[in-house]
Amino acid sequence: MADDVRSILDALIRERGEDYSSLSRLIGRNPAYIQQFIKRGTPRRLSEEDRARIAAYLRVPEAQLGGRAEASARPAASGDALLQAVPRIEVRASAGPGGMAEIEEHGRPIAFDPLLLKEIGAQRTSLLSVIRVSGDSMEPTLYDRDDILVDRSATRAVSGAIHVLRLDDLLMVKRLVRQGSAWIICSDNPAYPDIRDFDPAALQLIGRVLWCGRKL
């Protein structure tokens, strides 16, 4: 039975485009927790609270994950059960390809309603990250130390959208605007000039900014 639960959960994760670490964060565990449960059998079974939270998030009956049949009819024990935990990361700029490969989690994750994520255009929840804005070049849209939600699966340039990008080994948060066949890297703050004369091959899109939040 336990092996069946692990196989079912593994299949659900693949079908829904999730990953082990994001599901582990959802239940407040270390990033390797679900992978160890599925691949190594540690722990031997999920706790009732973890199982209920995962079942509610994946929208499957608890019985499918080893719970009692009657548990499937009960509401989730917490409003957090349906939230998607998105990690905060500290970005380290590095030379060469690799995008945001050199990152480390920093601080507590931020929980988002999956319906909100879908509404704002998030493509893969496993590739969402929250990073912190540095500087004032994007004011009044983004301010220094704002938190921004970045979809790292959205690496196609969208004219008028704000992207996290790398140019000449410098990581930036800027707006991309298409003019004819050329792209312009724009700052919303008029005190900063647009970047027009650059080699398009040197531009690497890390992801698109979908949301921002700040402390008042």
* Cα 27 from Cα 68, distance rounded (Å): 20
Partner residues linked to 89 by β-bridges: 105
Q: Give the per-residue pLDDT at 84.
A: 79
Q: Give the per-residue pLDDT at 137.
A: 93
Q: Give the per-residue pLDDT at 91.
A: 64
Domain-located, residue 190:
yes
51, 74, 97 — which closes off a domain?
A: 74
Which pairs count as long-range contacts for 46-53, CB under 8 Å and 24+ apart, including other chains? 46/5, 49/77, 52/76, 52/77, 52/81, 53/26, 53/27, 53/77, 53/78, 53/80, 53/81
Domain-located, residue 79:
no
If one counts every other C-beta atom within 10 angstroms of the C-beta of residue 7, the result is: 11
Q: Give the per-residue pLDDT at 66.
A: 83
Is residue 176 a contact partner of residue 158, using CB atoms and an 8 Å limit?
A: yes
* Cα 5 from Cα 45, distance rounded (Å): 9
Q: Give the per-residue pLDDT at 98.
A: 39
Closest CA to 11 of 88, 77, 65, 85: 65
Residues 64 and 141 in one domain: no
Residues 110 and 70 in one domain: no
Question: Cis omega (within 30 of 0) on the bond before 43?
Answer: yes
Question: Cis omega (within 30 of 0) on the bond before 140?
Answer: yes
CATH assignment at residue 108: 2.10.109.10
* Cα 69 from Cα 200, distance rounded (Å): 57
Q: Which domain holds residue 26?
A: 2-74
Q: Give the per-residue pLDDT at 76.
A: 43
Is residue 211 a contact partner of residue 131, using CB atoms and an 8 Å limit?
A: no
CATH assignment at residue 14: 1.10.260.40
Q: What is the mean pLDDT of each run of 10 residues along the chain (216 residues)?
A: 84 85 83 92 89 82 77 44 74 42 61 85 86 91 92 93 88 93 94 92 92 86
74, 94, 118 — which closes off a domain?
A: 74
Domain-located, residue 68:
yes
Domain-located, residue 22:
yes
